[in-house]
Every structure is written in structure tokens, then in C-alpha cells.
Amino acid sequence: MGRGFGVAAGLDPEVAGPLAARCAELGYDSMWSNDHPGAKGLETLSVFGAGAAALDLGVGVIAIDRTPPSQIAADRHDFHLDPARLWLGVGAGFTKKPLTTMREELATIRAALPGVRIVLAAMGPKMCELAGAAYDGAFVNWMTPEYAAEAKQWVADGAATAGRERPPVFGYVRTAVGPDAEERLAKEESFYRQLHPGYEHHFQRLAQPEGTVGVAAADAAAAQAALSAYAEVLDTVVIRGLASGTLAAMSAVAAAAAP
């Protein structure tokens, strides 16, 4: 089982580089960044890569309705990212036919990014099955351990139908540690619950109270206990640290959630 550490894109390079080095010391095997209109995830990964040469780098995820494969390929080149180290998470974004789009775009993505492992953002059964059938991995998000187990099975079902081995399943687990942990998790989750209809439907399926999907722990022992349920299901748990963007705050979450 792997464990990665993830942040929001655009983290100060003076924080990102040392944070990657610290995560390598703590035993993490990968560093991850999301991607959003205000900052490129691949740029943040380039700083992580310079800070910790031995770690894999993952972006979770780039919406291809906003950044087409040709631009992703140009960014990978411009930020000097080694294809062999990269897990490229891609998603449908706000496209009207997400499943069809991600099925049809895969060949274009692979042609633009040879040698890069392509991971599909997947939440529902059909997208998980597509990840299992055709992609190099599935990336799940905002799930309870129980729902993540179902998603993993959907990925396995898709792989079996395609006659191939199940690819790895990665997943963000929002993690906050300390006296304000519950507040941080609730704030983050509230934003995503209203982001777009796909997330709205997803949280309706989960049927969990707001502020409970992820880990909000008073200390490291409580964090590890909660994360153990995710570690039993996901091939790689990606700790999405909920903390202020300082090296001390991010490193504290990384240490509390370390493998």
C-alpha cells in the first residue's frame, strides 16, 4: 500500500520544495497537487520534483474541458517533468457527456503524453468501470471507506470485462489534525458539496452528514486510526492536507498522517 501527500496547486515554492523533502523523510512515496483555474498542478509538481528526486509525482486532476491534452503536454515539457515519475489524473470537468468524453479522449491523451501513466477521475460506477477497463488507474475523491470499497470493486469489474488486471486505485482523503480539525474539514467539504451537479449527486449518494467525509483528528494517533480504514481499501491513500500554507503547518499534518 502506498501513501502520498497532496496540496492545492499554487503552494509557495519556498514551502513546496522543503515539504516534498520532508515527506520523503517521513516515508511517503508520492507528492500530489490538484489543478484549478488559478494555478497549474503540474507547476507545483515541478517544485516537488526538485525537492525530492525519489518520489513519484501526481496531479489529481486536470479537467480536459479547461486544459486540452495538447496544452497538458506542453506544460509537462515546460515544467521539465519526467514522464516516468508522473501520474497524470484527468477528468471531464463540466462536459455535458463526461463518460463519452473520457472514453473518446483517452487515445488523444496517450498520443500527446507518451510514457505517462494516465489516471481517470472516477466517482460513480460507470466511470470507475471505464478506469478499470482502459486507464492506468482510477482516482477517487470525497469518499467514505465503505464507498471507496465499492468504487474499487467497480474498477475491478471494468478490468475483468476488458480482460486485464485491475489498475491501482488512488484517492484523496482530506485530513485535518489539531483543535480546529473539524472546522477545517467542514469548510472544505461545504465548498465541494456545491461545486457542480456531479459533486451534489455524489454527496447525495454518500448520505453522510456535512463535515464528516474525510479525517478530522485531534492528534496523530486519532488520525492514524481513522486513516487505517482507507488504507485497507485504497492502493494509495493520498493525504490532502488541510492546513495553512506554511511549511510548519503542512509538515505537521504530513507527520501525523505519515505511513
The average pLDDT across 20-38 equals: 97
d(CA 62, CA 41): 8
Number of C-beta neighbours around residue 149 at 10 A: 16
Assess whether pLDDT exceeds 90 at residue 50.
yes
> Which structural domain range is residue 172 located in?
2-256
Looking at the chain, the whole-number percentage of residues with pLDDT higher than 70 is 100
Q: Mind listing the pLDDT tens digit for each residue in 132-187?
A: 999 999 999 999 999 999 999 999 999 999 999 999 999 999 999 999 999 999 99
pLDDT band at 130 (very low <50, low <70, confident <90, very high): very high
H-only helix segments in the chain: 13-26, 41-51, 69-78, 98-112, 125-134, 145-162, 181-193, 197-206, 220-231, 247-256
User: The dihedral of CA 183, 60, 196, 66: what is its sign?
Assistant: positive
**What pLDDT score does 68 carry?**
97
Assess whether pLDDT exceeds 90 at residue 220.
yes
CATH code: domain of residue 219: 3.20.20.30
Assess whether pLDDT exceeds 90 at residue 194.
no
**What pLDDT score does 131 carry?**
98
**What pLDDT score does 112 carry?**
98
* Whole-number average pLDDT of the chain: 97
**What pLDDT score does 49 carry?**
98
pLDDT band at 198 (very low <50, low <70, confident <90, very high): confident
Domain count, the chain: 1
**What pLDDT score does 218 carry?**
97
Look up the pTM and report it: 0.96
**What pLDDT score does 55 carry?**
98
User: The dihedral of CA 106, 42, 50, 54: what is its sign?
Assistant: negative
pLDDT band at 129 (very low <50, low <70, confident <90, very high): very high
**What pLDDT score does 1 carry?**
75
Q: Mind listing the pLDDT tens digit for each residue in 92-125?
A: 999 999 999 999 999 999 999 999 999 999 999 9
